Structure 1
């Protein structure tokens, strides 16, 4: 999860014009009280007559710093994504430095000062040791390298954040498949240059155009194929977009290790993909914290009767990345949920355990542009290697 309320910068206060990540803690008729998450939770105030969502984390621009930090929500499209990207990169830096501090029995601030407040770019550089300041002790250097080898984060939220649709603000469990599929189509279109980055597809349009049971339940992801490839999905700007084709791939013919490796490759790819995951009853009592995995009893029940769970307890999400837990190094897949972005994981993104569990049942292949012969040959060759 994001390392909220930790100081990220050497400066104690933001500068006027700086875009910062804030959390709404109170609201009234003329604005909202917020906390600046990158500056040790110092208080701020947004003086706007507008609707606020309590506990939401969002970018805001600093317009005054004395005697109180005053902010505005008037942040441009690119700046919003850059702020979210920087915030997640800063979380990664905090995870690593905090682990170093724990290893050496020191406080986080002393490690930040000794390493001179390193950036994400520095810590992820292949020659990080040569980039560190001269005064960093051998003990800190050694612990830093050990933790960098343990803590991993590879996500579209950092690599290309404007591909992603913002997480839904409302709780929408029944139409999870519509959110995931429209987000995947949208990301593919934007990546191929066929759709502007500041436009979004309407998940509700796909929902309405796909035949379904009561409350939007569909039998299979392929039920949405006609709407996606023939009818088309309307965007916020009124443009209708289509996919050329979609197909659903599952784990039936692959060993768990090979399936997990394939999913990791997809998670680290340039474009997120829709996946269907097992959704166990114990998940309903969580708010997105930690790594999702079944209880021992649930996993035993699934292994004894997998068809029951596959037919009744599944959930569609968007696979956006992979990483390792900053505390114990547990590998996980990162997924964007459709169940709201407030007090739910890391602003709507959840972590799911990998092996020995196999929680992902299938993923969606989607084509939005004609594939050249050379590309097709490469795809066939890579598939052969995986199988």
Structure 2
């Protein structure tokens, strides 16, 4: 940070220190003779210590197997000496429930902190000032500023325009008066809303199911195409269903939606419709992987497989005219020309 610039370092919460028996997120900085020195990530990296006796309920055979420099994890607060700045922590006393709650809170707080820090930097103001007038009041009102920020996505005026604070001024008569002013200026509001919408607008989930579909009857390929149409017809405007051939007899069904349960339900109905149609022609459908959410990495792996298969097919001569494939009813269906879209 350049000299004379805004101070962009600040704790995430209004309290300068955590409460005893509270789970906090730490990062291990150094391992000494008595224990490990750590930084409390939610409290502007103030220092705490975990004694070796507080690492595990079991006998310690290797400290490195329990704690390592650079590791980030939740621990329990045992003692806080605010005057001396000592914070004693325990790893062995934190429960699975504490860990889950701490991780959830920290992930929300980290996102809020990132947005607040970016706005403070953009507006050339101290981060703590932004927290004093905006962040911490939202924590008090909504339980967590993350919940308030979620509402800002759709209704910024109601959330941000309600924030005020008092300032004392000297009137024309020399008397001190208290004045209520808006905490969020139009410039800060614009910067906040843009950052919040960019970072917190819900992204659609991709739901995928993998199936195997075969039909050995005459015109089996046509029956498979019709079953694919039935699957896509089961989709809705909110959850459109797409089906794609990977390599005979493997197909994938996908949909995108903000509602995970709705997406899984829609794909399940599409599989039922597809199954009924192919079985009507004595074909068979087997679900290899039930509908579930998939990541961008999963999508990339699938695309890599499809690209590799496509290249292999292009290298083989006469694939398009293979009578054997046509007879089996499992040939390489031209999904695009059959009326299906990627």
Report TM bin, short chain: 0.3 to 0.5
TM-score, normalization: structure 2?
0.46
Could you tell me the TM-score, scaled by structure 1's length?
A: 0.42
Larger radius of gyration: 2
